[in-house]
């Protein structure tokens, strides 16, 4: 864990408002996206995620690792989503596709959680890049091929390659080893799926 994560974690455990704002800003969008897949309603998803943060703030829960905190947030959102579905008496269709007791522990849901985190981390770091580098990577994430990106931005393929190399160099400086490894895997999958 890097020093920044340790500081944020310490702040979260000690109920420091600035650390909690940082936590909220970084997890809120991906948690809303995650919950919306269950509830199929943006506003309800936002309400559920806010309830999770409020519940965590009021609790005495302590975390010694960012991974544990992340897992806790996703698992809490998952369980609150189920409760919300139950309260709306919509168990029939939605709960049939979700194993009430074991779904969060299943590999499929765990993989989905990791994907959400990968996307959140990537966008967080990509948004810090200079404009041209950011545009190149965001178009790549949307499924554009390198030639299509060059055409879209009206610049040469060699310039695209330069921006790409600079972007990856910047990302490697910003991200810790595990995040970087996951980002490389993610872009590799994109590369093979979008020639």
Residues 98-144 have pLDDT tens digits of 555 455 555 566 566 666 666 777 777 888 899 999 999 888 877 88
Q: Tell me the pLDDT tens digit for each residue of 19-28.
A: 888 888 888 8
16 shares its domain with 102: yes
List CB contacts of 139: < 8 A, sequence separation 6 or more: 148, 149, 152, 153
The answer to whether residue 46 scores a pLDDT higher than 90 is yes
97 shares its domain with 134: no
Alpha carbons 56 and 124: distance in angstroms, whole number: 23
The answer to whether residue 190 scores a pLDDT higher than 60 is no
90 shares its domain with 136: no
Lowest mean pLDDT among 151-160, 167-176, 184-193: 184-193
pLDDT at 135: 92
User: Is residue 100 assigned to a domain?
Assistant: yes
6 shares its domain with 63: yes
pLDDT at 192: 43
pLDDT at 132: 92
- Residue 162 structural domain: 127-195
User: Is residue 172 assigned to a domain?
Assistant: yes
102 shares its domain with 8: yes
32 shares its domain with 81: yes
- The more confidently predicted of residues 137 and 173 is 137
133 shares its domain with 109: no
Residue 156 belongs to domain with CATH number:
1.10.10
CA neighbor of 46 nearest in space, from 71, 70, 24, 29: 29
Residue 106 belongs to domain with CATH number:
1.10.1740.10
Residues in the chain: 195
Residue 148 banded pLDDT, cuts 50, 70, 90: very high
User: Is residue 32 assigned to a domain?
Assistant: yes
Residue 2 banded pLDDT, cuts 50, 70, 90: very low
What are the φ and ψ backbone dihedral angles of 172, each rounded to 5 degrees? -65, -30
Q: Tell me the pLDDT tens digit for each residue of 62-87.
A: 988 888 888 889 889 988 988 888 77
User: Is residue 118 assigned to a domain?
Assistant: no
Alpha carbons 37 and 95: distance in angstroms, whole number: 13
End position of a domain, from candidates 113, 146, 170: 113
End position of a domain, from candidates 83, 113, 143: 113
User: Is residue 187 assigned to a domain?
Assistant: yes
Alpha carbons 101 and 24: distance in angstroms, whole number: 28
User: Is residue 119 assigned to a domain?
Assistant: no
Alpha carbons 101 and 79: distance in angstroms, whole number: 10
60 shares its domain with 141: no
User: Is residue 55 assigned to a domain?
Assistant: yes
Q: How many domains does the chain have?
A: 2
């Amino acid at each position: 864990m890097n020093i920044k994560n340790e500081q944020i974690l310490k702040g979260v455990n000690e109920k420091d408002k600035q650390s909690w704002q940082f936590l909220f800003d970084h997890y809120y969008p991906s948690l809303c996206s995650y919950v919306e897949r269950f509830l199929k309603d943006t506003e309800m998803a936002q309400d559920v995620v806010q309830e999770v943060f409020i519940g965590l703030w009021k609790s005495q829960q302590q975390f010694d690792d960012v991974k544990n905190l992340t897992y806790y947030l996703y698992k809490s959102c998952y369980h609150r989503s189920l409760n919300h579905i139950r309260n709306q008496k919509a168990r029939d269709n939605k709960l049939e596709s979700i194993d009430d007791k074991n779904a969060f522990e299943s590999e499929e849901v765990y993989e989905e959680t990791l994907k959400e985190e990968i996307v959140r981390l990537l966008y967080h770091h990509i948004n810090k890049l200079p404009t041209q580098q950011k545009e190149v990577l965001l178009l790549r994430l949307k499924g554009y091929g390198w030639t299509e990106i060059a055409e879209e931005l009206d610049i040469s393929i060699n310039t695209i390659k330069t921006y790409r190399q600079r972007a990856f160099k910047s990302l490697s400086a910003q991200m810790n080893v595990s995040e970087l490894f996951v980002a490389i895997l993610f872009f590799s999958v994109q590369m093979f799926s979008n020639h």
